């Protein structure tokens, strides 16, 4: 089953789609779909979240692996999406609605 959620941040709209253990980020302005490996990660943000990676040469690969491991730790796609919603809320993104394929969209409050 696939779940996707639409987010807004300062006029920028993105979609986060969870398919099994895969998480895709879709930028609606330029219609680019990317897994976590394709995103530009902020080194300061990663070091703030994971202080153990401070000064590490392989900080990006290790941060991506921690993300992948965390996603795999959840049993269902709904649990994965709920965690992603909370994480993106902390970063300033506003969740608009969530949709499971085959079902109507649900507004997130």
- Which regions of 36-91 does DSSP assign to beta strands (E)? none
Enter the pTM of the model: 0.88
Domain that holds residue 69: 2-107
The tens-digit pLDDT sequence of the chain (109 residues) is 799 999 999 889 999 999 999 999 999 999 899 999 988 888 998 998 899 999 889 999 999 999 999 999 999 999 999 999 999 998 899 999 999 999 999 999 7
Number of folded domains that form the chain? 1
Tell me, letter by letter, the H, E, C secondary structure of 41-92: CCHHHHHHHCHHHCCCCCHHHHHHHHHHHHHHCCCCHHHHHHHHHHHHHHCC
């Amino acid at each position: 089953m696939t779940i996707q959620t639409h987010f807004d941040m300062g006029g920028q709209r993105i979609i986060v789609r969870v398919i099994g253990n895969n998480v895709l980020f879709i930028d609606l302005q330029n219609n680019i779909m990317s897994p976590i490996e394709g995103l530009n990660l902020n080194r300061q943000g990663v070091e703030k979240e994971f202080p153990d990676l401070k000064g590490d040469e392989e900080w990006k690969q290790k941060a991506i692996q921690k993300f992948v491991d965390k996603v795999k730790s959840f049993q269902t796609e709904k649990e994965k999406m709920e965690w992603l919603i909370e994480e993106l809320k902390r970063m300033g993104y506003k969740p608009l609605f969530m949709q499971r394929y085959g079902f109507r969209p649900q507004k997130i409050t």
